[in-house]
Chain A
Amino acid sequence: MRTIERDTVVDAVAKLCIDANRYLPADVRRAFEAAQAKEDNPVAKEVFRQLLENADLAEKSGLPLCQDTGLAVLFVEVGEEVAVNGGLRDAINEGVRKGYADGFLRKSSCDPMTRANRGDNTPAIIHFDVVPGDTLKISFMAKGGGSENMSRVTMLAPSQGYEGIKDFILDRVAEAGPNPCPPILIGVGIGGTFENAAILSKKALLRELDDTHPDPETAAKEKELLQLVNDLGIGPMGLGGKTTCLAVKIAMAPVHIASLPLAVNIQCHSARHKEVTL
C-alpha cells in the first residue's frame, strides 16, 4: 500500500483551484481563435476578441478569468493500493479552502435555505471512483451557477430513443439562450440511473474540446448535435452568430430495460478545469 502525505494532496488541490480559474485551457483558446476567424458577424467577432483579451489579462494580472469561480467539483480516481494520511476527503476540502483563500477566488457556497455564505467554498462536490493501481488522479472543475442553472435531467421512455434525446438537448439550449454565457459546451449523460446520468454528463465535460469519441457512432452523434445546436444561431453571448456551442461530449452507461435517463450539463465558454496525478 502506497501512502501519500496529506499536505501533498492539500497543496495539489489548492494549485488546481487557482490555476484552473486563472489560465484558459489551451484547447479552449484554440477553439476561440478558430471561431473568431469563422464568424462574419462583427458583434460575434468582438465577443471572441474580448474573451481572448480577458484570458491574456487574467494570465498577466493573476485575476480569475471570471468572477464566478464556481463551486469546486472534483472527480477523483483513487487507486486500490493508495491511502492518504489523515483522510482523502478532508485533504481535498482543505485544499479547496486554501486555494480559494490564497487565490483570492470568490466563495460561492451557501446554505440552500438561509442563503448564508459558508465563507470558504466548502464542502467541495467530490465524486470518487475506485480504480486499480497506486495513484490518485484528481480532476478539478470550477462550475459556475449561471451555466449550471440551465442544466437538466429528464427520464425519457425507451421508445423516444435518439430522436427524443436530440429534441430535449435542442430545446434546452434554445430555452437557455443567452443566459449560460454562450458559446457553451454541452455534456450529455445517457443511461445508468437518474443520478448516474447527471454525473456522466458533467464528467464528459472534462474531455478535450477537439478530441473524438472512441466509438464512431457516438462520435458522429456528437458532431451532428454540435451542428444542430450551432444552427440555432444564438451565437456568442446570445448576440447572434455561428458559434453557439464549442463542443458536445456524450458519455453513456448501460441502463434498466424500462428507462432512458438523460442529463444535459451546460458549461460556460471558459470551461475551467485541470487535473493532476499523484
Chain B
Amino acid sequence: MAEYHLTTPLTDEDIAPLKSGDVVFLSGTIYTARDAAHKRLVDTLDRGEELPFDLKGAVVYYVGPTPPPPGRPIGSAGPTTSYRMDAYAPRLYSLGLKASIGKGRRNDEVKQALKDYTAVYFGGTGGAGALLSQKIKAAEIVAYEELGPEAIRKLTVEEFPVTVINDSHGGELYVTAKR
C-alpha cells in the first residue's frame, strides 16, 4: 500500500498509478453532490445545458453536511453511501470526472467506467464527520441552494484522507480486504 498526496484537478497521470488499498491525501477543490443533486446534474445534461461546475479532472464528494455553526466553514461532513449515485456516476465519469468519494460498494457499470476513463472511487471513513470536517478549509454553495444539505458545494480541502477502493485497473479493496 502506497501513500500519495494529490492536488486537484486530477489527471490521468495522477490516477493511473493508484491501486486499491492505497491511501491518498487530497488537496484543492472538491465538489459535494448527493442523491437529488445528481438527478439534477443528469437532467441538466439531458437538456443539453451546462453543468454548474467543470467536470474535467474534478472530484465529487458524496456528502450532505450538517449546517456550519458560527465561525466554521462547514459542519460535520463524512461520506454517504455511494450505490445510490451509481445510476448517474458512469455518465459523469465519461465527461471527465476523475474521482468520487463515498462509502460502500459500487455496481459493475461504475467499475467499468473507472477502467474506461482512467478514474477511481475513493472511500472515506463513514461516520467520522467531525474529524473530516477539520480538513475542509472553505465551503461555498455553487448550485441548488434550495436542496439544503443536498446543494452542490465547492469545498477547499487540505490533506483530506481517503483510501482507494476501486482503481482504474479493476482492483477492489472490499474484495481483497477480507481476512
**Residues of chain A having any CB pair with chain B under 8 Å:** 41, 43, 47, 50-51, 53-54, 57-58, 61-69, 104-108, 115, 117, 119, 145-146, 149, 177-181, 233-235, 237-242, 268-270
Q: Contact: A51 with B128, CB < 8 Å?
A: yes
Q: Contact: B75 with A149, CB < 8 Å?
A: no
Query: CB-defined interface of B137-156 with A at 8 Å, one 1/0 digit per residue?
Result: 00000000001111000000
- What residues of chain B lie closer than 8 Å to A62, measured between beta carbons? 69
- What residues of chain B lie closer than 8 Å to A68, measured between beta carbons? 64, 78, 80, 129
Q: Contact: A146 with B126, CB < 8 Å?
A: yes
B65 nearest in chain A by CB position: A67
Q: Contact: B103 with A237, CB < 8 Å?
A: yes
Q: Contact: A104 with B131, CB < 8 Å?
A: no
Q: Is B127 an interface residue (CB 8 A)?
A: yes
Q: Is B81 an interface residue (CB 8 A)?
A: yes
Q: Is B47 an interface residue (CB 8 A)?
A: no
- What residues of chain B lie closer than 8 Å to A61, measured between beta carbons? 130
CB A41 to nearest CB in B, in angstroms, measures 6
Q: Contact: A104 with B68, CB < 8 Å?
A: yes
What are 7 A-B pairs at a CB distance below 8 A? A53-B128, A66-B126, A68-B80, A177-B104, A178-B123, A239-B123, A242-B179
Q: Contact: A67 with B131, CB < 8 Å?
A: no
- What residues of chain B lie closer than 8 Å to A180, measured between beta carbons? 81, 104
Q: Is B105 an interface residue (CB 8 A)?
A: yes
Q: Contact: A65 with B127, CB < 8 Å?
A: yes
Q: Contact: B178 with A235, CB < 8 Å?
A: yes
Task: Identify which of B36, B68, B105, B179 contacts A235 (C-beta below 8 A).
Answer: B179
Chain B residue total in the interface (Cβ 8 A)? 40
Q: Considering the chains assembled together, what is the distance between the CA atoms of A64 and B75 in angstroms?
A: 8
CB A176 to nearest CB in B, in angstroms, measures 9
CB A197 to nearest CB in B, in angstroms, measures 24
Q: Which of B68, B69, B131 has the most CB of A within 10 A?
A: B131
Q: Which of A65, A149, A237 has the most CB of B within 10 A?
A: A237
- With A117-B150, A234-B178 known, 6 other A-B pairs at CB within 8 A are A53-B128, A57-B131, A63-B69, A106-B65, A178-B103, A178-B105
> Closest 9 interchain pairs by CB?
A240-B177, A179-B104, A181-B126, A58-B130, A54-B131, A67-B129, A63-B130, A146-B81, A67-B76
Q: Is B117 an interface residue (CB 8 A)?
A: no
Task: Identify which of B72, B76, B147 contacts A117 (C-beta below 8 A).
Answer: B147
Q: Contact: B105 with A66, CB < 8 Å?
A: no
CB B148 to nearest CB in A, in angstroms, measures 5
Q: Contact: A238 with B76, CB < 8 Å?
A: no
Q: Contact: B125 with A50, CB < 8 Å?
A: yes
Q: Contact: B75 with A67, CB < 8 Å?
A: yes
Q: Which of A47, A54, A117, A235 has the most CB of B within 10 A?
A: A54
CB A97 to nearest CB in B, in angstroms, measures 14
Q: A104-B69, A108-B149, A119-B148 are in contact. Are A67 and B105 (CB under 8 A)?
A: no
